[in-house]
Structure 1
Amino acid sequence: MAKRRIIILGGLAVLALAAGTVAVRTAGFAPKDIADGSDIRLAAAPPYDLDAAVAHLSAAAQIRTISHQDPAENEIAEWDRLHGWLAKTYPAMHRAMTRTILPNRTLIYHWPGSDPAAKPIIVMAHQDVVPVTEGTEGDWKYPPFAGTIAENAVWGRGTVDDKGSLIGLFEALEALAAQGFKPKRGIYLVSGHDEEAGGSGAVAAAAKLKADGVRALFTLDEGSVVLRDTPVINGPAILIGVAEKGYATLKVTANAPGGHSSMPPPETGVTTLARAVLAITEKPFPIEMRGPGAAMIEALAAHKGGTTKMAVANQWLLGSLVKREVAGSPSSAAAFHTTIAPTMLQGSPKENVLPQSASALINYRIAPWNSSADVMARAKAAVGDAPVELTWVKPPNEPSRVSSSSSPGWKYVVAAARADAPDAVVSPYLVVAATDSRSMEPISDDVYRFMPMHFTLKETAMIHGTNEHMTIDSFRRMIDYYARLIATSAG
């Protein structure tokens, strides 16, 4: 009886200690190393004609700079048309900045600063847009390349991704130039011609800037937004991409004798391939609470408070619960592991012929703590001694480095965003797609991926989808944001 009492008392003591630890950690929990930009003195955005700016976005959306999967299908004259239109529409900016057009149609603008010792800034937005899926044109409320102004928005392919940013930057720079702005810090505007088809233009631009000796304080490109209904807090958050996942496509090939389908062997090339693909996908990368995804969860949980804050603050005890929550949907889970997605299959050219070679493509988006070598090793371990070949379709893009969330560049980006969303939570964010900005890493202290549009989760679905449109309110916010950021960081 005495022994039992000792065991019970001991258990209660452990529980009391655990409860005390949980309480202390929860009370003192706060996100680490996330500056709020409150020490930055913001410059005001200059005046401009919003109606004219909206008409300009409409005109730009009508220029069909469409990046097709096969570059031979691209209408290069449309890029030349866009360049001519930009020069005509923004005369003050073109007087203030030098323009370089690379042979591939990528643009580099430079506004020299008065202080040669100050590191310049780089702002980015790409010129090209994705095609409209054939047969879906009739699903659009307004024609996808008409740039229709209706319902307090500009409708059309590319109005959000990424001509909204491109024209927003040009409007901001034109307004600054027209009012006589004189930067102390140099300004570069880089606009890739093929972001939607691999980003070779940004690679070429970065190579030129590196050869010119450019070392930027920060680079800002597309990537995330102010999300109005952010999960966890169900409210607004300024989500700034501090990193992006790597990109790799694995080809799995099963070779076989082939033959007539009327006399199949016990296992064909297709069944061998199917087993291999299943083996790879059934060995997913684990959910890991680390990197920008973890920083985001910490920032949101600290604001939310209550049991959410308690769980995130005490992952030593409740880590499995937190992981289960973030793994609850593909969109949230993507920030916490390397994803595996089989996308394409190829086999026999005819239904009654056994293929001599069957192949599958598996697309990976690689988390910052993994590498393409990790992906290949995991795939090889999964298939074991199965008679398949594993090769990369092309050299992988490794994950980007993680930029600072407390550096001068971060503070400028955050301060300009908070001016328009003072009650929003500020958080680092992992961009799960790819952007042109990754090419600027070798020449930039930090790289950030953020567009100052205010979106709901539902509204983000239109990007690359049907009925893409930029609201006039969001477009106004973008122009003001870019003008404030440039005037503050370069002024």
Structure 2
Amino acid sequence: MKKILLVILGIIVILAAILLIKTYTYPFKKNMADAGEGWKPVKNDSAILRLSGGIKIPTVSTGSLGEFDYAPFARFKEYLKISYPLVYQHAENVEVNQYGLVFRLKGSNPALEPILFLAHMDVVPPGDADIKNKEDNIFKPDDTPLSPVIKVAEDWDYAPFSGAVANGRIYGRGAIDMKGMLFSLMESMNNLIRNKQIQQRDIYLAFGFDEEVGGQKGAMQIAGYFKKKGLKFDAVYDEGGLIMRKGNVAGIDSDVAVVGCAEKGFLSAKIKVKGLGGHSSMPPMESAIGKAAVIMKRLEDDQMKPMITPLIKEFFDNIGGAMPFTSRLAIANQWLLRPLLLSKLTKNNTTNALVRTTTALTMMKGSDGTNVLSPEVEFVVNFRLLPGNTVKDVREHIARATKGFDVEVEEIDNTREASGISPIHTKAFKMIEAGVKEIHPGAIVTPYLTMAGTDAGKYEIVSKNVYRFMPIKITSAEQQSIHSTNEYLSIENYMKMIHYFEYIMKNYDK
């Protein structure tokens, strides 16, 4: 017995030694963090007012495309012409599907593949704010657009389409998502032209108008336009990741710039469950709503399996060196501790979304009466597909969850596969790293998986290097304002974003 215990103890000691050695020798990326402040923003009142005026135009996209109010989009196009005459004079500009905008600033070497920067002009509704346009909300070339009449929603410090500039911030729906980035791109191109800066390769800007409802008429058409022209881009840059301020990423004592090298797929299914209807005084042993509850319980209890994809492994390899010892231990020894690592990751909402196709029950409809049994109950379940899972996998998953019940399954919205994964050992990615170091030298830059949908995936037909990143440093609370109330962009972030894009445009081939 004593010999057996000694053998077990010896095995434990050897195992512990192996774990420690692998942890301390694991090739976590050495982040050469600079303690400097980087480029110091210089306030530009004209640029701030141009963004403020753009926010005042309520380019809201909601529902199906046919329900759009296109008048604000027409005004927005005219506002850009008025605001950036140099860009319109010196860059080629075309309209795609009437409201999509494309700009091309020619470079000195047409043999080089161009680079493309994306943004979208549409915004989500402001919530409870009451939007009514003034009858005279029309502007002439020498005017800024008048603000719509807005009742301030309770949680907004300033009206959602006021474009208010106060407290070192620019307030309004779309300030972050994503008129701030759109205007910073226009400012950057404008600066290149004004300073007579001649870059080597062509620079393209492409602005969609329906990203918030799927991008089928905007980005999809623009990407098709590029494809038809035979264009291939060395890099495509869109929104997606952000710079999370120090203390806002659990366990990491540093700013972290997360660059989306891929994004999740999407499938929403409306599941109609059949049962016996009638009066509630004589209910069946199992109602339609009870059956629906069983299916929903199955979907939540038996979710798709978590996994560490190559992209997320790269993410952990990049940030792991700045994490606590226990986290580094688990990351470095996945050959043994992967089940424990996955168990820990899936217990947190944010990290769970990194390692699995998520399941979200979002809507449900049954009887309209308190004493009426509906013969049919429907609910909606939304899946965000992890790269490595497919739409086919999700459909089979739904079939297993609904087995034994009389159901109809209908896919709604825009079903799409997860995107491809863009490489990080490219000039395109290295320019993101260089740009971030220019404005935030202390930030860790890492590849990441973008959870939400963007227009970026539609441009995979014209580039293999597609990156999702907006160079603004924010807290988790500020991130929550996107698509919510009291959205704002700090003036410092806006000035740095302009400099970041101008830096990439000027230095891509230096």
TM-score by length of 1: 0.92
Aligned AA (1:221): D
85, 92, 97: which one aligns with 2:91: 97
Task: Give per-residue Cα distances to partners, 1:285-335, cap 9 Å, x unaligned.
Answer: 233222433322232112335333222111223333322332232122111
1:239 Cα offset (Å): 0.8
Find the aligned partners of 1:104 and 1:362 in 2 and give their Cα distance.
Answer: 35
Tell me the C-alpha RMSD between the 2 structures: 2.4
Per the alignment, do residues 79 and 46 of structure 1 end up closer, same or farther by CA in structure 2, a change over 3 Å counting?
farther
Partner residue in 2 for 1:218: 235
Structure 1 position 486 matched with structure 2 position 505: yes
Tell me how far 1:96 sits from its aligned partner: 2.1
Change (3 A) 1:268 1:49: same
2:93 aligned with 1:78: no
Of 381, 391, 394, 1:372 maps to: 391
Quick check: 1:457 aligned with 2:476? yes
Q: Which moved more, 1:150-159 or 1:89-98?
A: 89-98
List aligned pairs for 1:128-277, cutoff 5 A. Answer: 128-134=122-128, 137-200=153-216, 201-228=218-245, 229=247, 230-277=249-296
Q: What residue is the counterpart of 2:133 in the other structure?
A: none
What secondary structure is seen at the aligned counterpart in 2 of 1:171?
helix
Structure 2: how far apart are the matches of 1:449 and 1:231? 22
Q: Aligned residue for 2:23?
A: 26
Please tell me the residue identity of whatever aligns with 2:235: F
| Unmatched 5+ stretches in structure 2 | 130-151
Identity of aligned residues (%): 31
Deviates more, 1:249-258 or 1:463-472: 249-258
Whether the aligned pair in 1 keeps the contact of 2:121 and 2:208 (CA below 8 Å) is yes
Find the aligned partners of 1:86 and 1:404 in 2 and give their Cα distance: 34
Q: In structure 1, what residue type is equivalent to 2:154? A: G
1-structure distance, mates of 2:42, 2:477: 31
Corresponding letter in the other structure for 1:156: G
State which drifts further: 238-247 or 383-392.
383-392
| Counterpart among 82, 89, 92 of residue 88 in structure 1 | 82
Q: Is there any run of 5+ residues in structure 1 with no aligned partner, and where?
A: 39-43
Alignment partners' CA distance in 2, 1:473 and 1:66: 26
Letter in 1 for 2:243: V
CA contact (8 A) 1:47 1:175 kept: no
**For 1:314, which of 319, 326, 333 is the aligned residue?**
333
Are 1:248 and 1:365, in contact at CA under 8 Å, matched by a contact in 2?
A: yes
Q: Once the 2 structures are TM-superposed, how far is the Cα of residue 223 of structure 1 from its aligned partner?
A: 0.5
- Using the TM superposition, give the Cα deviation of residue 350 of structure 1 relative to its aligned residue in structure 2, in angstroms: 4.0
- The equivalent residue for 2:139 is none
Q: Distance in 2 between matches of 1:173 and 1:393?
A: 39
Write the distance in 1 (CA, Å) between the matches of 2:27 and 2:285. 60
Counterpart-to-counterpart distance in 2, 1:348 and 1:306: 54
* Equivalent position amino acid for 1:24 in 2: I
1:395 CA displacement:
5.3
State which of 285, 288, 293 in structure 1 corresponds to 2:312.
293
Rate the CA distance shift 1:443–1:471 in 2: closer, same or farther, 3 A. same
Looking at structure 1, the residues matched to 296 and 17 of structure 2 have their Cα atoms a distance apart, in angstroms, of 48
SS at match of 1:450: strand
Query: 1:113/1:46 Cα in 2 relative to 1: closer, same or farther (>3 Å)?
Result: farther
Answer whether contact 2:122 2:212 (CA < 8 A) is retained. yes
1:282-361 equivalence runs, <5 A: 282-304=301-323, 306-361=325-380
CA distance in 2, matches of 1:46, 1:210: 39
Native 8 Å contact 1:120 1:490 kept in 2: no
SS of the residue corresponding to residue 242 of structure 1 reads strand
Preserved contact between residue 356 and residue 386 of structure 2 (Cα < 8 Å):
yes
Q: Given the alignment, which residue of 35, 42, 52 partners 2:46?
A: 52
